Structure 1
Amino acid sequence: MPFEAYLDRRRIAVLIAIGVVFVLLGVWLAGGFGAVGPIRGWSPQALHVFGWIASLFFGCGVAVLVPKLFSSGVEIRIDSEGVYARRSGPSVIPWSVIQRITTVDAGRVQLAHLFLDDSSAFSGRRRLGAAAFGDITLSLQGTDRKLSEMRAAFDHFAPGRRDSSAD
């Protein structure tokens, strides 16, 4: 049975709600709801600048997350044909070009790095630092699946390609 990871809309909605709260807090600090006096030694000018920076930063985060709330379809699929990752491009990466796979579990950040025999075939997908982190990085952040399930799929469909010593 193939491994399929879909976006977890509940997690995305929570992140959007948190982002909106921080945007509103930034607007408040910037004086958008009236003058703000000094807070623990911060001058009103510093709070104003900090508030606009926070509003911009978290506003961009909300803008990125809102479309994902309405997105449908599989984000990552691992099956007998290879690996499909929506964030990495429209086509399946066949097992024949995947040389090695490493995975990283850093708590909430769960990644798989694919090292390709010929990365030029997928040049549009090449990432900065590919020599250390692989040619393509798959992230399970914001999806409904776990890294242990992804590792099991790699072991099932591509035995011997996953570097289990790096786990």
Structure 2
Amino acid sequence: MIWHLIAAVFSGLGAAGIGLVLRTLSGKRLPKWIVPVCAGLGMLGYQVNAEYSWFELKSQQLPASAVVISSQTDSMIWRPWTLAFPMVTEFSAVDRDGMTHNARGQTPVVELIVYHFERHYADVVTPTPYLLNCDNRELVPLDDATGKPALNALRTLREGAKLYTTACQPAHEV
């Protein structure tokens, strides 16, 4: 967080310097307010760039075996540019190397952890362990304390769900 503040301040100073150079080159015909306006635009430009590049930065930091399975965009009234171009505010990923493939009887079952990333003033990562039945696409979260399936939260994934295809198809098919 502090590094973003420092970067925004230096972006503002750099843009203010550009405004000052433009004012000097124009023989002081540009008004004095051009310098603080350039500073504000520089800081705003840095902030917009940081917000829109968050998803790419975080997904590049994941290991090569990680697969992004979903993302959610959002628009905010206090960020008017997001009304035209919504930005990614959260996404979920699964690490293929962290999956455990088992067979319960004749049923193939995959134990995996879904990592849910949310963009806030400090990024939030929530790991949730799941069991996925590959025959009928049933996904059930595991209780953190006991490690037992929470059957009241059982849900069925659709046929083409990215989580299902990532976990239940062999690596060479994905």
TM-score by length of 1: 0.31
Q: Choose between structure 1 and 2: higher strand proportion.
A: 2
So what's the TM-score if we normalise by structure 2? 0.30
| Larger of the two Rg values belongs to structure | 2
